[in-house]
Amino acid sequence: MNKALNYLALARKGGMAELGEEPVGAAARHEKACVILVAKDASDHTWRRAKSFAAGTDQQCVRLDVTKEEMGFAVGRTSLAIAAVTDPQLALELVRAGGEPEKHREALEVLTAKAEQAKKRRREAKAHQRNVRKGKKKQ
C-alpha cells in the first residue's frame, strides 16, 4: 500500500491530484477526476459523497486500505479522507499498487481504457506537431 501512497504524493506534486471534499467535488463535476480515493476509516457519509460525485460518469471510486492519517501524511497533511487523481495513467498505477485487483476489477478496466486513450491522444498530438514543423520547413 505504501507504493499507492507514493503515487498519490507524486500526483499531488505534479498538480494531478485534488485533495479534500470540495476540490474533489469540483473536479468530479467537471469530469476531470479519473479516480476518487477514500480512506478506509473515512465516514460512510464521505464514501456516499464520493459515490455521488462519480454517479453517472466513468469516474471511479476506490476505498484504499489506508487510514486518513496515512493518506494525509503522504501529501503533507495531518489527515485526508478523500482525494482525486486527474491523470489516467497515474490513476491506473495507483489503483494497481493498492492491491486487491479482484475488488477493484471494474475500476482497473475503466482506467486501463482511459490510459490507453490518453496515450493514443499524446501520440497523435506528437505526430501532428511533427507534421506542422515539416510543413513550416518546406515553405
Note the pLDDT tens digit of each residue in 31-81.
999 999 999 999 999 999 999 999 989 899 999 999 999 999 999 999 999
Quick one: pLDDT at residue 98? Answer: 82
For residue 108 the three cell numbers come to 482497473
> For the chain, which domains are there?
2-138 (3.30.1330.30)
User: d(Cα 99, Cα 133) in Å, to the nearest integer?
Assistant: 44
> What pTM was computed for the model?
0.84
